[in-house]
Structure 1
Amino acid sequence: MQQKRKDLKRCMKRLDALQKELVKHRTCKRLKMCINQLRELQREVERRQPCRTGYPVSESLKLSHPIKLCEYTISFSQLDNCGRELLEDALNARCFAYAPYSNFKVGAAFRSKEGRVFTGCNVENVALTPGCCAERTAMLKGISEGCRVFNAGAVVAYHPSGYTTPCGVCRQFIIEFAKLDIPIYIAQAPESSAPIPLFEDDAEVLVTSIYHLLPHSFSVY
């Protein structure tokens, strides 16, 4: 009887071992199936990827490719005199913005080729379309006095999330009177309503350019 009990224990151990082997086999089989499915999905994703063949835009003869100025950020205190002057003039012009409907005030300043600075603010209208952006207000003042080329500009507004760059219409308008790429200084206006607004020395300024803002402008030339 004792021998039979020993034989039974050995059989039970063999059954346990076989059961473990069977579980391992099933696990390996499931793992192989998952790997095959993943490979199929990877092949499908690669097949659906857009074709990367083509030619660089710079090689096209149908597009103009003017040299772009560098685009970077810098503190207000490290700006050159041109940038600081334009930003301060734009900030002062912003005080006169007429924005009773959006309460979003913008100031702009543009320097002509002759060295004259023209400022402007946004002017809203209850009918919406008769309104004018600050950038066009400033440039229209210069154009009406005979200036046809501008070599730098600045735009100032307060938005809690960051910079406010010119709208699409203003970008096309600016490029009309810029024979080459010109720097555009963008800064966040101080939130305070002080009578004489000022930029802090460490205020961050985006120095971009009209060709960066509108790389492929409309032209009939």
Structure 2
Amino acid sequence: MAEKRKVLQRYMKNLNDLKDELKRKELEKKMKELELLQCELARRQERSGTKCAGGKIKELRQQKLRKVLGAYMMTLEGLLCDLARRQARLNGDKGRASESENLPHPQMLEEYTVAFCAVGEDGRELLEAALSARRCAYVPYSKFKVGAAFRAKCGRIYTGCNIENVSFTAGNCAERCALAKGISEGEKKYTAGAVVAYHPDEFTTPCGVCRQFILEFVHRDIPIYIAKAPPPEQENCIPAIQDDDEVLVTSAYHLLPYSFSSFE
């Protein structure tokens, strides 16, 4: 068994070495092509004179050439970064998970807490819509009301509340209720969301199923505003959220950083 393990380790090392060699060859090839393009651009700039009809054509050609050069530079930067990561892993260095190409959506929005009065107008509007929807929650069993609101790409806000059932599993969360409204009307892209519920000690964030459901309908990271609703004895107070109340501004990718994003 130990011998088989050693053979497998040698095989994996050889495979990684081959991959690195292919990357280096590809990098050398791109570097040569880049040098040729830079030389061509330099010659064209030397030949270009005063602007005229012919000069316009030359300028357009140079612009096109610059775009090609830019594309090559981006490719080269990617190759250099990949080679650096591979070399670091071979040396035993720990890489940052957000830089891995094998993980979904590495680009995340900032996550922070802020006073309600400092939240942008869009965020406050979503939180207030979620509070309004929460009043319609059907929770005869848990007595735990949740409200949610999501802004579609068109700008319209869709709201939802949690709906319980005596069968328990037949119930529905506020987040999925809100999104289902919009999806049923043809809105399949969303730009922001909000969730409110009352818990005396902590914020109430979406459950795991809702997090996966939210990610199905976002094409890049979107902010999710989380706030506490007023306690039951103050449920009808106005305003429901005070200016100095804390709001958690998180995001879809922060809520589920390692989501299941592809079945292929």
Q: TM-score, normalised by structure 2?
A: 0.62
Residue identity opposite 2:240 in structure 1:
L
2:126 maps to 86
Given that 1:66 and 1:180 are in contact with CA atoms closer than 8 Å, whether structure 2 keeps it comes out as no
Given that 1:66 and 1:181 are in contact with CA atoms closer than 8 Å, whether structure 2 keeps it comes out as no
What is the rounded CA distance, in whole Å, between the counterparts of 1:182 and 1:159 in structure 2?
Answer: 24
What is the rounded CA distance, in whole Å, between the counterparts of 1:186 and 1:206 in structure 2?
Answer: 5
Given that 2:204 and 2:226 are in contact with CA atoms closer than 8 Å, whether structure 1 keeps it comes out as yes
Given that 1:112 and 1:147 are in contact with CA atoms closer than 8 Å, whether structure 2 keeps it comes out as yes
1:70 maps to 110
How large is the Cα RMSD of the aligned pairs?
1.6
What is the rounded CA distance, in whole Å, between the counterparts of 1:199 and 1:125 in structure 2?
Answer: 29
Secondary structure class of the residue paired with 2:211: helix
1:218 maps to 260
What is the rounded CA distance, in whole Å, between the counterparts of 1:66 and 1:112 in structure 2?
Answer: 23
1:135 maps to 175
1:205 maps to 247
Tell me by how many angstroms 1:194 deviates: 1.1
Residues 167-186 of structure 1 correspond to what in structure 2 (within 5 A)?
167-186=207-226
Distance 1:106 1:74, change over 3 A: same
1:194 aligned residue (233, 236, 243): 236
Given that 1:185 and 1:205 are in contact with CA atoms closer than 8 Å, whether structure 2 keeps it comes out as yes
Tell me by how many angstroms 1:59 deviates: 4.5
What is the rounded CA distance, in whole Å, between the counterparts of 1:58 and 1:202 in structure 2?
Answer: 33
Residues 17-166 of structure 1 correspond to what in structure 2 (within 5 A)?
54-166=94-206
Tell me by how many angstroms 1:219 deviates: 1.7
Q: Number of matched residues? A: 170
Given that 1:190 and 1:199 are in contact with CA atoms closer than 8 Å, whether structure 2 keeps it comes out as yes
Tell me by how many angstroms 1:57 deviates: 2.3
Residues 1-12 of structure 1 correspond to what in structure 2 (within 5 A)?
none
Distance 1:205 1:59, change over 3 A: closer
Greater relative contact order: 1 or 2 (C-alpha under 8 angstroms, separation 6 or more)?
1
Given that 1:124 and 1:130 are in contact with CA atoms closer than 8 Å, whether structure 2 keeps it comes out as yes
Secondary structure class of the residue paired with 1:84: helix
Residue identity opposite 2:259 in structure 1:
S
Residue identity opposite 1:218 in structure 2:
F
What is the rounded CA distance, in whole Å, between the counterparts of 2:112 and 2:95 in structure 1?
Answer: 28
Tell me by how many angstroms 1:153 deviates: 0.2
Given that 1:105 and 1:122 are in contact with CA atoms closer than 8 Å, whether structure 2 keeps it comes out as yes
Tell me by how many angstroms 1:195 deviates: 6.8
What is the rounded CA distance, in whole Å, between the counterparts of 2:113 and 2:235 in structure 1?
Answer: 25
Given that 2:105 and 2:253 are in contact with CA atoms closer than 8 Å, whether structure 1 keeps it comes out as no
Superposed CA offset, 1:16-71 (max 9, x none): xxxxxxxxxxxxxxxxxxxxxxxxxxxxxxxxxxxx96543244332234311011
Once the two structures are aligned, what percentage of the paired residues are identical? 62
Distance 1:137 1:197, change over 3 A: farther
Secondary structure class of the residue paired with 2:149: strand
1:24 maps to none
Gaps of 5+ in 1: 1-51
Distance 1:216 1:98, change over 3 A: same
Q: Which moved more, 1:175-184 or 1:188-197?
A: 188-197
Given that 1:99 and 1:124 are in contact with CA atoms closer than 8 Å, whether structure 2 keeps it comes out as yes
